[in-house]
Amino acid sequence: MSPELMEIIRNSESRYLRAQEKERILEYTGSLPSRFKAATAVEQKEEVIVAAVVEQMKRRYSSFERFHPRAWEKASRDIQLCLRYTVQAMICDDLDFQADRLLYWLGTIFHSFGFSPQFNRDTYTALKESVKNHVPAEAFTLLEPFLEKNIEVLGSMPEPAQVLV
């Protein structure tokens, strides 16, 4: 559930909801069918979306494999995981969901493996573009702020001492 809605519920303890609070809850619940439809669209195209990102990154960063065993296999797994958390965040309507539960942790892993912030920005910008290319426009509109969050968080990680990619 949206953090805003959780706050409304917490603040309304021992009283009835105000009209504007009811309206906000109805607005959120009314958008759930669209959010689930967008989630289904991504789920159905996940393999194609992730494969397109990996192929694009292989062309841009051909040396990546030399520095990391099973590099592209692991990259594919990380992109897939990030996409799934992005969808969950969109369903919850919580822009901090994926950052709190995945992105900060994943960013520290990327940092330790020598991934530059630019590599991360390129990867997750490619993910955003791949989603845009493979799901309906309505789904992308709902997902876009959450896809941007991936770029923002992972692209702003500190430069590692030794950049390998």
127-143 tens-digit pLDDT: 999 999 999 999 999 99
Query: Is a pLDDT exceeding 90 seen at residue 164?
Result: no
Query: Is a pLDDT exceeding 90 seen at residue 35?
Result: yes
What mean pLDDT comes out for the span 103-117?
95
DSSP 40-93: HHHHHHHHHHHHHHHHHHHHH-TTHHHHSTTHHHHHHHHHHHHHHHHHHHHHHT
Task: Name the band, by pLDDT with cuts 50, 70 and 90, for residue 36.
Answer: very high
pLDDT at 68: 80
Task: Name the band, by pLDDT with cuts 50, 70 and 90, for residue 83.
Answer: very high
| Cα angle value 107/113/114 (rounded, 5°) | 90
Query: Is a pLDDT exceeding 80 seen at residue 1?
Result: no
Q: What is the pTM of this model?
A: 0.93
**Third-level CATH fold of 32-154:** Globin-like (1.10.490)
pLDDT at 54: 98
Query: Is a pLDDT exceeding 80 seen at residue 57?
Result: yes
More confident residue, 163 or 45: 45
Q: What are the CA-CA distances from residue 62 to residues 55, 67, 68, 127, 154 (Å)? A: 10, 11, 12, 18, 21
CB 43, CB 52: distance < 8 Å: no
